[in-house]
Structure 1
Amino acid sequence: MKSLLSCIALLAGFCLAADSPYGVCAHLQRWEYDRASEELKLMKAGGIDHVRFDLDWDALETAPGVWNFDKMDSLAAMARENGIRILPILAYDVKWATPAWKHLPEFLNYVETAVRRYGDVMPCVEIWNEPNLPGFWRGKPSGTEYASLLVPAYRKIKELNPGITVAYGGTSLIPLDYIEESFKAGAAQAMDVMCIHPYRCNEMPEEYLPSDLAALRKLMDQYGAGDKPVWFSEMGYSTVERLPYLSLLLPRLFAALKMEPQKTTCVIFRDAGYRYDSEGLGFRIQDELPSLKAVRPIALKELKRLAAGTDTLLVLPDNESFPSEFLPDLIGYLRRGGRVLSPGGLPLYFDLRRDESGALRKIQVNEKYMKELHLGWYTFWTRPGTPEKLAEQEFAEPYATGMASLPVNGFRFFDRANPAAGDRFEPVLYGRSGDFRGVTAGVYHFDSDLKGKIAVCGNLNPGVPEKKQAEFLPRTMLIAFASGVERIYWYSFRSTERSRFDGEAHFGIVRSNLTPKDAYRAYRTLSELHPAGSSRPELRSDGTLYIANWKTPGNVPAAAVWNIAGERAVRLKIKSGRLTAVHDHLGRELKLPPEDSVLSFSASPGILYFSGVEL
């Protein structure tokens, strides 16, 4: 009888898991396999009901017709035991059939084999991972080519088992042009779920996520897929330690600019209307250069009137974005001889635009504005022969005196691709890999129609402190749920911690030794207070204060409140219900009795949850 009850309980858990919005990414089939059983138990204890990982074709079929199911059989059994559903990524290739989209019979045989064997524990499958990236697609990405793989895979799976959910391969970010190209080729009707990976990197989730999701939904509506669910099959924040290079690099960039920090006023953007701030989650110019004379914030509209001078430096953010509406003003500033610092990544790689509803959207525009700024850049995905990894970075002469090489994380290269007569480019920092040497930081000196200077640094610092990771996780999820996203696979469960400065090694919500980080506690708290089966949150904001309301499965009201700009004193009236408990984002219970149905408290970037009431 006990065994029968256990089976019934497990089946009931599986039914609940099928509708749960809570998932996570893990490489259980690779380096995490030895501790997979422990991880799955820890996932379940954290309220996580779904796990996503690659069901690598070359690991399953080791030679034509030779199959190795041992590891996957074991993982399937572990998942069943813990009541966790697997979302397998059916992807990549084998030596005798690459690229996969040109070898459909072989690929479809692999798909059929996987679905027949594991359909019970993986009732949904994802066809490929980030097909819009060259490294995963095994060549130049093409939405049309992806559709030529997805459409027959979808048909094959539905022939085998119509009940299996087929998910579009999660794209890196939300590349609408690529997605539309695939939709035109039939992908919109060859999926049950749309998957995306809308990473924010150095941005808060509130900034553009709702408008980006609205744009995706509009495109899906246009191609007859508007009623299909959207999932984040990856989303997360790395807690990698920020590289300590700016404090070493900036004095050398100042020297190349012919400027002295102690005589320089740095002008930074702080624009509430565009949520555009030069000083982001981990970058503050005065922390890197304490000797600066002054720091002065301006709004974007003030750029048109900003005086240029040898003692003034305009600082862009390190998130590669700029609103093109103000590009003429930036060019005008450079024509007046203005000096600009881009402290990280590619300047103007993303455009910030308002759509017809007035919502802000962040749109990838690549090199669109580089010619106007006389800048040139390249990466491994734009120029063949460019390394994907660097061994070291070293300063150029005459800036190398007494200086060893700098550590490397993400990076971009700069060159003289778009010069005008009279312009010159001065290297300050090089990146090396074997015989390759490219400029990762330098100064463009203009003496053409532009008369100013731009100092650029291609290094990226994508990490956030662990405290922020724990704050962003539930905020991201509630914003996504409020925007109609039905499931999220957080990336990732466990950190490799293989390298101090490797961003990929620190996405986990538990450490390499399985010790939970605060983000794990935040996940568990959200899954308990917004359990599977809760209503879609209703979200409102006055600019910095966010309030989400929902009903739990028992039709009990609940709410969450947070403020994205530090501490803020608030007074909120209880609209209905009776307050039964208050918890912070890490699950700690707080005492906060209402006075005459009014709650007075301090809202902060960490969510406060209110059980039993609508606010």
Structure 2
Amino acid sequence: MKGVNMRFTIFGMLGILLWGIALDGAEKNTTIGNPYGICAHLNRWEYKQLSRELELMKQAGIGNVRTDLDWNQLEAEKGKWNFERWDAVVEEAEKNGIAVLPILGGALPQRELPLLEHMDSWRNYLKTVLLHYPRISHWEVVNEPDLSSEFSKAEKYGPFLLESARMIKHVRPEATVMTGGFGSASSYLERVLESGGAEAVEILNLHTYYWKLFPESALGAELQGVRKQMVKHGMGDKELWITETGYATSRCVDMKPITAAVLGKLNLDKDNIPVALIRDTEYYYCSDRLNCDRENFFSGKKNFHEISLKELKTLSPEQYPLLMLAPNESFPMDYRNELLNYVKEGGTLFVPGGGIPLYFNLRKQNGAVVQEVAGEWIQKMFHIGWEAFWTNPQAPASTHVQEIASGFSKDIPFPDVVGRYLSKRNLKPGDELIPVVTAYSKDRSYSAPVAAIYKFNSELKGNIVVFTWMDAMESVSRETQGKFLPRTYLIALSSGVDKLFWYSFRSMGENESREHHFGIVERDLTPKPAYYAYKTLTEHCPPHSTRPVLSKKGEFYIASWSKPDGDKVYAIWCFQGSKSGKFRIEGVVKGVKDHLGNRLPAVGDVMQISDSITYLTGDSALSVMCE
């Protein structure tokens, strides 16, 4: 898995959306088989805890594990093969009834790079591993080809995939071949399918990360789009897998000191000054409770006022002088004038992190919400500017060299890595950019603010406070990860996905960077809430259940399916917060549990539904409808 910030463009379906509706061959199978997978580096740093990890996976109901079949480990020296570690992985997995999905190639030997210039060696590698592991049925042809330097052009990966598939089928005709997980579908996927990929494989494979978005805002629309591409290329009856998705849980430093210091410069740091937050169900746009929490920036004594985007028009800067935006670089530009008027009238926008403010536009298109680069015009409108390594070669892709500006306490903590920078280029006469934290290249030839105040005294009379730190704003809390895991699975399964592998099982946990905290257990194997949420999901929707059908009414999502024993199960949630709803329940309810498996009181016609799933299990006649 690689750190890619935004992977797909379509990411929201509006109105009432039935994700369970079949798209051609997407749902010919009425049951789901065993869709539960996990990613783990079992032959690498996790090897010493191999047995215990697989036991924990089994206890959670996980039936599939994906790991790297590292060529450089198997054949460290040309012609000398060592399968000791991988043999142990396969043996322990089989003991626990867990199927292994190898990532062919894995870490490649330097001597065999570039791979396309060493195809004879690649064919020998394929033949060797396929014959050594005759009981492994499915084979993934390299990881994230679209994000690699060698296969960044689809026209190279398509023929390579076709040649690899032919070799696999020659050695093992019964083997199942699947694409590498595409980290960015869209045009790359289309070109791969056109250049041989469609005929090469039985399974199309995606990596769908939305760590700045809610699962509901992205996944269903994307999967339906991919299914249409598959049908177009004659793959309508083939399987669709997701072999990586997930949310990291790295902890951000306490941002209250730097927030208070910055707002103090504007006389906005007093506890009696309220903060306005946006929570909009139409655009899935929320100021917090996804990648950041208000409590990490503001005192517990602060008062908060939540508004929808439509209510921006009447938001008074006098009553609410501070408005916090979401730390995801996006904003629905249909509301740009309302936002601009707020600043013109003296309001202060607070961008708590996530990269470049107002970089993406969110807009409606054909019943969906699409994301697109907004362009320089929006930066000019708000008198702000930015730089990054792709716009200024002197700007470092990332740097740890940062210094607090004069006038601020030197012991104020802030995140230790940054890669987006602020500029003065769109300031108007009377405006100023006040640095709070300045970042430098290693040789200090480049410097720019990464936390700053845009203080306006032109046609704009307010302020924009910007923190650009990204890594800290690309994670969720451990509790949120636990809520999102089953929601992601139910959306994916109802959209025709056959297997989904969560990334990952165990967190590296050596530092607080995002990549070290994707696991559902900690480094010491202590379960996070997501582990228990996974276990609860597999208990309520065990293998060979019917495929979940998902509907949405208002703010409520309702998924339903039948277990192999005939019992009916409903899973109900809303995308954020908590809301009371009236439901018509028919049939016998045998049990009610939350997303972690805790028993809940018996339900009535009115239920309090939150962003954590409520499971209702009943007899085959159970019916739950939102009124």
The verdict on a shared fold, with TM-score over 0.5 as the criterion, is yes
Equivalent position amino acid for 1:359 in 2: A
Secondary structure, aligned partner of 1:456: strand
Match of 1:551 among 557, 562, 585: 562
TM-score by length of 2: 0.81
Distance 1:113 1:19, change over 3 A: farther
Distance 1:506 1:600, change over 3 A: same
Distance 1:590 1:261, change over 3 A: closer
Match of 1:168 among 161, 173, 179: 179
Distance 1:389 1:33, change over 3 A: farther
Where does the alignment leave 5 or more consecutive residues of structure 1 unmatched? Answer: 1-16
Contact kept in structure 1, 2:145 and 2:151, CA below 8 Å: no
Contact kept in structure 2, 1:393 and 1:406, CA below 8 Å: no
In 1, distance between residues paired with 2:261 and 2:189?
A: 42
Indicate whether 1:406 and 2:414 are aligned.
yes
Distance 1:336 1:189, change over 3 A: farther
Contact kept in structure 2, 1:93 and 1:99, CA below 8 Å: no
- Match of 2:257? 248
- Match of 2:350? 341
Distance 1:115 1:433, change over 3 A: farther
Where does the alignment leave 5 or more consecutive residues of structure 2 unmatched? Answer: 1-30
In 1, distance between residues paired with 2:55 and 2:212?
A: 32
Map Cα deviations across residues 106-158 of structure 1 (whole Å, 9 max, x no partner): 3343333322322422x21222323343xxx1369333333343232223223
In 2, distance between residues paired with 1:251 and 1:427?
A: 15
In 1, distance between residues paired with 2:440 and 2:468?
A: 14
Secondary structure, aligned partner of 2:85: helix
- Match of 1:111? 126
In 2, distance between residues paired with 1:48 and 1:157?
A: 27
Match of 2:39 among 11, 16, 25: 25
Secondary structure, aligned partner of 2:524: coil
Equivalent position amino acid for 2:528 in 1: K
- Match of 2:478? 466
- Match of 1:36? 50
- Match of 2:616? 610
Distance 1:313 1:72, change over 3 A: same
Contact kept in structure 1, 2:32 and 2:543, CA below 8 Å: no
Secondary structure, aligned partner of 2:173: coil
Secondary structure, aligned partner of 1:281: coil
Match of 2:286 among 277, 286, 294: 277
Structure-to-structure mapping, 1:286-325, within 5 angstroms = 288-290=297-299, 296-303=305-312, 312-325=321-334
1:317 deviates by 0.5
In 1, distance between residues paired with 2:477 and 2:217?
A: 18
Contact kept in structure 2, 1:124 and 1:167, CA below 8 Å: yes
Contact kept in structure 2, 1:308 and 1:338, CA below 8 Å: yes
Equivalent position amino acid for 1:413 in 2: R
1:517 deviates by 2.6
Greater RCO (Cα-Cα under 8 Å, separation 6 or more): 2
TM-score by length of 1: 0.83
Secondary structure, aligned partner of 1:345: coil
Secondary structure, aligned partner of 1:610: strand
Secondary structure, aligned partner of 2:498: strand
Secondary structure, aligned partner of 1:535: coil
In 1, distance between residues paired with 2:208 and 2:126?
A: 27
1:448 deviates by 8.4
1:471 deviates by 2.0
In 2, distance between residues paired with 1:98 and 1:556?
A: 54
1:509 deviates by 1.6
1:26 deviates by 0.7
Contact kept in structure 2, 1:393 and 1:407, CA below 8 Å: no
Secondary structure, aligned partner of 1:522: helix
Residues matched between the structures, number: 581
In 2, distance between residues paired with 1:280 and 1:447?
A: 33
1:27 deviates by 0.8
Distance 1:523 1:308, change over 3 A: closer
- Match of 2:465? 455
Contact kept in structure 1, 2:433 and 2:454, CA below 8 Å: yes
Match of 1:572 among 570, 574, 583: 583
Equivalent position amino acid for 1:579 in 2: V
In 1, distance between residues paired with 2:517 and 2:535?
A: 19
In 2, distance between residues paired with 1:74 and 1:457?
A: 47
Secondary structure, aligned partner of 1:274: coil
In 2, distance between residues paired with 1:585 and 1:293?
A: 30
Equivalent position amino acid for 2:203 in 1: V
Match of 1:72 among 77, 82, 86: 86
Match of 1:586 among 596, 604, 612: 596
In 2, distance between residues paired with 1:179 and 1:44?
A: 34
- Match of 2:452? 442
Secondary structure, aligned partner of 1:441: strand
Distance 1:261 1:188, change over 3 A: farther
Indicate whether 1:51 and 2:65 are aligned.
yes
Contact kept in structure 2, 1:280 and 1:318, CA below 8 Å: no
Distance 1:104 1:551, change over 3 A: same
Secondary structure, aligned partner of 2:436: strand
In 2, distance between residues paired with 1:141 and 1:328?
A: 39
1:498 deviates by 1.5
Secondary structure, aligned partner of 2:571: strand
- Match of 1:534? 545
Indicate whether 1:157 and 2:168 are aligned.
yes
1:438 deviates by 5.3
Secondary structure, aligned partner of 1:170: coil
1:338 deviates by 6.1
Contact kept in structure 1, 2:257 and 2:412, CA below 8 Å: no
In 2, distance between residues paired with 1:388 and 1:231?
A: 32
1:532 deviates by 0.9
1:36 deviates by 0.6
Distance 1:371 1:584, change over 3 A: closer
RMSD between superposed Cα atoms in Å:
3.6
Which deviates more, 234-243 or 421-430?
421-430
In 2, distance between residues paired with 1:74 and 1:382?
A: 48
Secondary structure, aligned partner of 1:185: helix
Secondary structure, aligned partner of 1:186: helix
Structure-to-structure mapping, 1:378-527, within 5 angstroms = 378-379=388-389, 390-391=399-400, 393-399=402-408, 401-403=409-411, 406-408=414-416, 411-416=418-423, 419=426, 425-431=433-439, 434-435=442-443, 439-444=449-454, 453-459=463-469, 460-499=472-511, 501-527=512-538
Contact kept in structure 1, 2:258 and 2:414, CA below 8 Å: no
